[in-house]
Amino acid sequence: MNHGANHGVDHGQPPPVRAFLRRCVLAASVLDDLDVDPDDDGVHLPGCAPLAWADVAATAGPFPRGPLTARSGPPGADDAAPGAAARLRVRQLLLAHRELHRRAVRLVPLAVPRGADRHPGAVWESTAVLGGALDLGPGVVVTHAGRERALPVPAASARATGAAAGLTAAQREHLEAMGSLAAHRLHRDEGARDGGVLRPVGGCDAPTLLAAASLRAHLVTAPGDSAGPVLRAVAVPDRTRGWFDLARVDPAFVVAAWAVTDPADRGLRRPVLVTREEVAPAPTAPDVRGHRGGADAGGALARAVLRL
């Protein structure tokens, strides 16, 4: 992308689009306490290379149609408002861009579900994990609101800072090492109260760990390291945990757990089928609205379990 062509007022961006992008940037400034200075040339953060409006627009995605004000409603409803996904992606862009300019930056592998609101699209150099459920690329660890979260490395920020835009060999090795460690912990905790729960390790969240061949091999291996099932159904509705003993998990719960999770922390909306080589979406699970008790009952159950 030729940034030189984006200096000055970009007449290729209609005024409503530029105004919407400015609102996205200012929303991130308020919500994330970011010191930003948007002008006609781009977005400026202290100590960082400027971000061209073209890069912000590419990250935000298609200009939303309809009212751009968020609607009130239960968890999972606000993100359905036009522009919510774009605001989330712009927030991620600014946080990742600032972090990549810091001296002690921490880069990790990151897998993001395809079609997720937090997926930045083509501005993130990622490769598809076989099966079509996840894309894998570089992430940068950002500490925000007292917790760590890996965000996609924007290609524009990588160019500005000299960071690798794509996944490096070292990051792939780290992913496989963390997959092996996660498999060891699952084996160690087998039969325990919290056994069978996949949790983040070494900067890799639960969806990212599914991209590790070392973990997938464990999931489809029977006790005693003998040949196990050809595939395993796994539920990872948020980034902090996943379940592979789905005989004990109601499919409607998975959808409800995903719905009540902050969009920035959502995992896979429905279970996936895992083999040694692939992570593929399972056939469509029943929507929580079809669950006995309705969406409110399913959501209440999910919120109660996610607080554990």
In tens, the pLDDT along 63-81 reads 876 554 444 333 443 455 6
Same domain, 40 and 20: yes
Instruction: Report the chain's C-alpha Rg in angstroms.
Output: 20
Provide the strand spans (E) within the chain: 37-39, 42-44, 107-113, 127-128, 134-144, 147-152, 197-198, 232-238, 241-243, 272-274, 279-281
Tokens of 36: 């930003």
221-275 residue pLDDT tens: 855 555 556 788 999 999 999 988 777 677 788 889 999 999 999 999 989 999 9
Same domain, 9 and 158: yes
Above 50 in pLDDT, residue 290? no
The C-alpha atoms of residue 207 and residue 267 are separated, in whole angstroms, by: 6
Place of tokens 């896979």: 268
Domain end: 101, 133, 167, which one?
167
Same domain, 131 and 236: no
Range of the domain at 211: 170-306
**Domains in the chain: how many in total?**
2
Same domain, 179 and 129: no
Same domain, 129 and 82: yes
Mean pLDDT of 79-84: 70
According to DSSP, residue 291 is labeled S
Domain end: 137, 167, 197, which one?
167
Same domain, 153 and 12: yes
Same domain, 160 and 212: no
169 φ, ψ (degrees, to nearest 5): -60, -40
Burial group, residue 128, by CB count within 10 angstroms (0-12, 13-18, 19+): exposed
Same domain, 114 and 262: no
Mean pLDDT of 191-196: 65
Same domain, 124 and 245: no
Same domain, 121 and 242: no
Q: What percent of the chain has pLDDT above 90?
A: 62
Same domain, 26 and 88: yes
Domain end: 167, 190, 224, which one?
167
Same domain, 175 and 252: yes
Tell me the torsion sign for CA atoms 186, 248, 199, 213: positive
136 φ, ψ (degrees, to nearest 5): -120, 130
pTM: 0.82
